[in-house]
Each structure stands twice: as C-alpha cells, then as structure tokens.
C-alpha cells in the first residue's frame, strides 16, 4: 500500500509530465544550437516516458518502484553520455533540420554504435514495461476495488495515449515522412499529455488518502452495513453535529469495523470520513442561519450548533465546501 499524506509523489510525476510536454513544444519556437536541441528534445522525451511509467507503477505496482527508479538512473546515465558525445562532435549536427534531430532520423543523425544499442535497449525495456502494465490493468486486474473503479477509464486513456504515441513516432525514426506529419504527431502528443494530466480523477488531489489497488480495498458484493442504517445514524440522528464525532465512535454505534466503515463511506460518497462530517456541518450551518430560530445567534454559537468547536474551526471547511466567508453570507441574509 502506498500512503500519501498529500499525494505529492504522484502529483510530482503528473506535473513533470505536463511541464516536459509544454517545454518540448516551446523548444520549437526558440533558435537553439542543433547539438543542444538534440540533447534537450531527447531528454524531454525520456523524462516523459519515465513519468508515464511511474504513474502506472505508483498506482498499480508500488513494489516495483525501486526498479523503475533504477531504470530512471540508467536513463540519466544515457543522457550524460549522449550530452558528452554531442559536445565533442557538435560539428556533425550543424546542418541537420530540427525535425530530423527531434526524431533522431537514422539517415540524418549518425550516433555511434554503443549509443544506438543503449538507446534500443532502453526503448525495449520501456515498451516491455508498458506492455506488461497495460495487459495487467486491462485484463488481469479485474477485482472490484473502490479506487480501481474510479481510475479505470483514466488508466485506459493513458494506455491508449502511449500506444498512439508509439504508433505515430516509431516510423519517424526510420522513414522519411512528410514534414507536416511529424509536426502533427508532435502537436497531438503535447495536447494528449495536457488533457491526460488535466482530467485526472479528482481523488488523486485529496489529502489523507491511502491510494492502493491491493486486496485490502476490494469491495464485497454486500457491505457489513446497509446504506439505510448509515443514513439513519449519520443523517437522521445528526451524528455529524456531535463534537466527539469520529470514525471509530460511529463504527462502534453501527457495530462494524472502522476499516469497513471507511471503505463504505469512501465508495458511497467519494470522500473521507472527516470531509463528509465537515461538509455536512457546513451544510447544516447554512440551513440554520436561514432559520428564524437562530436569528440572534453569533457566528461562534452557530458554529458550535453545527458541530464545530469554535468559529475558527468553521472557516477552513466553509471555504472548502461552500466558498467565501461565513460572515459574508450572514450579512447578506441580514440585509
């Protein structure tokens, strides 16, 4: 299981993927020395491939993380060797068009045998890893998991995107294709990268989540608790306004384990227990400020009625689930 206090590792690779895609597009608008252009575009493509592999690894195969990081180190060594070769042989790349450099067209870019072998091996390893992970995600990982259900479509889009890039770019290194085709393939890849990152599942941004597709989060056909029991205890009896509301306490009232209750809440409401409590407290706060019975209550008193220990503890959840400031909405009602 991979635990993110905030899912910074995953966010880092998604951010790096988008950044490299954007910078790679920007490179075409900047006049660069051919040798530097070759190095930079090669580096960006490699980093993007590494990021895609890491996204899969973190979400589906966390035990392989160290092996993937080792592959990343091997790739960095390749880039260092390539950079040294380019620096020592800059004159070889002066008259080569940017498109041929970007695609490392065999008829134009002549690299020594050891670099070609190194590059072919890295490419083969990358393709093998992508083939394995893609097969596992689509065909083998069929257990119904609360996170897997939410990310399945996104994962398939990533697989489709990667496969499309391989189909588009693989021939460009070996065959002299029309110039417009290579530019189309490049632009399309950058657009897909940005869309892939932008439309990621919302739960990947949340804090205090345990992201894992292991069996510990598999959901059974029936839960240990019915939704009606939960609604009665949590909503009808206004459990969320109690000051001592907690996952453990509610689990005892419902006679189930805390782990089962956590999974039930996340699958049904797509949020953690604390977020569910705070969201309903904010909704309840908004309801009671419209009630004439609470007309003369202060914000502090209203916050306590809604279950918050003080007005200070109200502000952050209010901004998160409603937006703005509690005093603003109260002033608007008073007018």
Local confidence band at 152 (pLDDT 50, 70, 90 cut-offs): low
pLDDT value, residue 239: 94
The pair phi, psi for residue 298, each rounded to 5°, is: -80, 170
Lowest-confidence range among 115-119, 181-185, 285-289? 181-185
Is the pLDDT at 88 greater than 50, yes or no?
yes
pLDDT value, residue 281: 93
Which has the higher per-residue pLDDT, 58 or 171? Answer: 58
Cα 191 to chain centroid, rounded: 17
Q: Read off the pTM.
A: 0.50
Calpha distance 39→109 (Å, rounded):
12
Average pLDDT for 209-228:
53
Is the pLDDT at 78 greater than 90, yes or no?
no
Calpha distance 227→225 (Å, rounded):
7
Q: Was domain 221-334 assigned CATH 3.40.640.10?
A: no
Local confidence band at 278 (pLDDT 50, 70, 90 cut-offs): very high
User: Per mean pLDDT, which of 36-45, 78-87, 207-216, 260-269 is the most reliable?
Assistant: 260-269
Average pLDDT for 58-81:
78
Calpha distance 23→278 (Å, rounded):
40
Task: For CA atoms 107, 113, 119, 123, give the dihedral sign.
Answer: positive
Nearest Cα to Cα of residue 162 among 128, 139, 120: 128
So where are the chain's domains? 2-211, 221-334
Q: How many residues does the chain have?
A: 335
pLDDT value, residue 87: 72
Is the distance from CB of 264 to CB of 270 less than 8 angstroms? no
């Amino acid at each position: 299981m991979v635990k993110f206090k905030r899912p910074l590792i995953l966010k880092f690779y998604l951010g790096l993927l988008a950044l490299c895609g954007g910078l790679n597009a920007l490179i075409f608008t900047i006049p660069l020395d051919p040798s530097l252009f070759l190095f930079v575009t090669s580096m960006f493509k490699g980093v993007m491939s590494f990021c895609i592999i890491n996204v899969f690894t973190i979400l589906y195969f966390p035990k392989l993380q160290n092996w993937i990081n080792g592959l990343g180190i091997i790739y960095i060594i390749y880039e260092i060797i390539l950079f040294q070769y380019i620096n020592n042989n800059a004159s070889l790349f002066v008259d080569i068009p940017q498109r041929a450099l970007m695609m490392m067209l065999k008829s134009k870019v002549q690299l020594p045998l050891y670099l070609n072998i190194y590059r072919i091996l890295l490419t083969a390893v990358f393709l093998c890893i992508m083939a394995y992970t893609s097969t596992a995600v689509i065909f083998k990982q069929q257990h119904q998991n609360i996170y897997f259900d939410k990310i399945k479509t996104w994962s398939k889009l990533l697989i489709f995107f990667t496969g499309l890039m391989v189909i588009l770019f693989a021939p460009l290194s070996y065959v002299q294709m029309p110039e417009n085709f290579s530019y189309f393939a490049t632009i399309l890849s950058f657009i897909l990268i940005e869309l892939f990152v932008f439309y990621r599942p919302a739960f990947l941004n949340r804090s205090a989540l345990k992201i894992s597709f292991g069996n510990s989060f598999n959901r059974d056909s029936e839960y240990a608790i019915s939704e009606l029991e939960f609604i009665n205890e949590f909503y009808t009896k206004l459990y969320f306004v109690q000051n001592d509301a907690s996952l453990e306490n509610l689990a005892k009232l419902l006679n189930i384990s805390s782990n089962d209750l956590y999974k039930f809440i996340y699958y049904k409401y797509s949020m953690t227990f604390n977020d569910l409590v705070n969201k309903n407290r904010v909704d309840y706060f908004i309801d009671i400020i419209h009630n004439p019975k609470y007309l003369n209550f202060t914000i502090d008193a209203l916050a306590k009625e809604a279950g918050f220990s003080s007005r200070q503890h109200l502000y952050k959840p209010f901004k998160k689930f409603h937006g703005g400031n509690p005093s603003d909405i109260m002033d608007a009602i008073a007018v």
